[in-house]
Amino acid sequence: MSKNPTLTKRYHIPLDMFMDAFRAFQRKYVYPQNIVLSVILLAVAGVYVYAAVRDSSKTLPYIVIVFCVAFVMSTWYKTLKMRRSLREALKEIESDTYEMKLFSDKLTIRTEDAVPVPAETAASSEADEAPGADPEPAEDAASEDAEGFNSIFPEKLAEPVQDIPPTEIFFEDRVKIHEFAEYFMVYLVKRNFYLIPKKDFSENELTQLRTAFKL
């Protein structure tokens, strides 16, 4: 597998395209689940409506009916509310620029405008996640070195930073790629999805993407 990308492209995603993609994502993956759940709960509610008509003295049927109807309404309300909340959140990143690199077995996507992470913060985060790590000896040695260094150079040095690494997306079963009129949607199942707008690619480059995505 080649380590060099076969295609590199920078692009920008308009807010309206983000929202159109999210609606398409909901229609394809969220609405079917909501519909199945709604049908089941409303069917259960229907059974208890019949039971309530036959014997109105019992309170259980009314409780079940109210619960089923309320749950269905809440499910659809959350789905629509998420769309409105997402629009407000996306306004903050609407002007971001992305870079995509296509390889034979994967693609990488990174945000060029992302704020770099301090190296010390990244290192400490990795140390915290490492099982069985004992940082005390390293801290003691670092403290001694720091005291000797600070006695000569008392000024506080600027903390080095590390660029945020790109997201790697390997072409496998748990990655589903869909083509729409204005963009490709790369869906990492049960995680999130990425957009690749067609407007920034030539026809030859779009053909190259379709071949890689097996569309």
The tens digit of pLDDT for each residue in 54-110 reads 888 888 889 999 999 999 999 999 988 888 888 888 877 778 889 999 998 899 999
More confident residue, 179 or 173: 179
Q: What six digits make up the tokens of 33?
A: 């689940």
- As a whole number of angstroms, the distance between CA 149 and CA 117 comes to 25
pLDDT of residue 99: 92
Calculate mean pLDDT across residues 37-50. Answer: 92
pLDDT of residue 131: 47
DSSP strand E in 79-191: where?
A: 97-102, 106-111, 117-118, 161-162, 167-170, 175-179, 183-188
- Bridge partners of 169? 107
Taking residue 50's Cβ as centre, other Cβ atoms within 10 Å add up to: 10
Greatest mean pLDDT among 58-62, 71-75, 114-118, 190-194: 71-75
Q: What is the DSSP string of 114-145?
A: PPPEEHHHHHHHHHHHSTT---HHHHHHHHHH
- Please check the confidence at residue 146 and state whether its pLDDT lies above 90: no
Of 82, 74, 73, 75, residue with least CA distance to 25 = 82
Of all residues in the chain, the percent with pLDDT exceeding 90 is 41
pLDDT digits (tens, 9 = 90+) for 61-72: 899 999 999 999
Calculate mean pLDDT across residues 134-153. Answer: 49
pLDDT of residue 66: 93
Of all residues in the chain, the percent with pLDDT exceeding 70 is 75
